[in-house]
Amino acid sequence: MDLDLEKLLPLIGKDDAGLAEELFSEHRTRLIANTAAKKRWMEDFGEWSAEVEKAAADLQTWREQSGKEQVYTPDSLVEARLRREMANAYEGNHSFPLNRSDTDHLALIREDMKQGGLAKILMKGGEEANKLGLVELSARLLPALTFSGSSIYFEGGIVPYGKEFRIVIGEAPSKSFVSAAVAEESARNLQRQLGVHYALAETSAAPRSDVPKSGKKPEIYICGLVGDTTYAQHHIVDTPFREEFNAVARELMYELLKRMYGASK
């Protein structure tokens, strides 16, 4: 499938992650239609009311166990469960096109780095002894940063998935890995350990295959450091698809990287 660069490249960073939204729009539309059809079927055959009763019982049990009011109503819990069930089925049946959309997103980011001039700006920073370090929970932006000659500016990237690994690389222990404080600690650790001038780090919670009792949506915290200057961001990424989450995270980090280097639109 050929990509229309003139149409797609200007979408990068539009309303935070316009390119990712465009590349995954067809998948979201299909999932919404599939979910609506399944809900109508459940209502027609009495399945919906039965699931609402079950959800009410579950909420009562959770309330008794935690002593807290729940974020769901019985109907909203059934809605959330249905959306997750349908998303899991869609991902199982369409794993290749979903991954292809994510891969296309990476390719377009790499192309924008070249056409938009960021690659040259990164190299210039490296020539001035101001290198970049990266931390992310999955290799999303990292593949775009390693091109011919990139060792001039790029000191390295780290993908810390577990608590023990974070401790080994010098980060302070934390009860929760998904917070603004953890993102900043990752970035500052890059500066401490590697001596980089530019540090970009993220920590995030991608979409789950179940419905969390907390009702929390997928989210990402990003921290960028340019010397002593700090750039901090937090975004809710309301998608059921892990592949789309990866693309959105990549685009958000890419836009912050451009801002850090003074290359924003």
Sort residue 126 into left (φ over 0), alpha (ψ -120 to 50) or beta. Answer: alpha
How far is residue 184 from each of residues 187, 188, 191, 243, 245, measured CA to CA in Å?
Answer: 5, 6, 11, 25, 21
- Can you give the residue range of the structural domain that contains 206? 117-260
Tokens found for residue 21:
């939204």
How many domains in the chain? 2
Asked if 250 and 124 sit in the same domain, the reply is yes
Q: Assess if residue 223 is contained within a domain.
A: yes
Residue 155 has pLDDT above 80, yes or no: yes
Residue identified by tokens 């959306």 is 83
Report the chain's terminal Cα–Cα distance, integer Å.
28
CATH value at residue 147: 3.90.950.20
Checking if the pLDDT of 265 tops 70, the result is no
In this predicted model, what pLDDT tens digit does every residue of 64-103 receive, in sequence order? 999 999 999 999 999 999 999 999 999 999 999 999 999 9
| 95-116 and 18-44 helices, crossing angle to 10° | 160
Given this model, what pLDDT does residue 252 score? 98
- Cβ atoms of 232 and 184 within 8 Å: the answer is yes
| Whether residue 150 sits in one domain with residue 64 | no
Tell me how far apart the alpha carbons of residues 223 and 210 are, in angstroms, rounded to a whole number. Answer: 28
| Pair of tokens at residue 103 | 């891969």
Rounded to the nearest 10 degrees, the angle between the axes of helix 18-44 and helix 74-93 is 120
- Is residue 103 domain-resident? no
Dihedral sign (CA 15, 138, 264, 100): negative
**Domain for residue 39, yes or no?**
yes
63, part of any domain: yes
pLDDT score of 1 more than 70: no
Per-residue confidence band for 172, with pLDDT thresholds at 50, 70 and 90: confident
Q: Give backbone dihedrals phi and psi of 77, rounded to 5 degrees, phi first.
A: -70, -40
Q: What residue type is assigned to position 158 of the chain?
A: I
Q: Is residue 105 part of a domain?
A: no
Closest by CA to 262, choosing from 220, 229, 235, is 229
Kindly report, residue by residue over 18-66, the tens digit of the pLDDT: 999 999 999 999 999 999 999 999 999 999 999 999 999 999 999 999 9
Residues 130 and 247 in one domain: yes
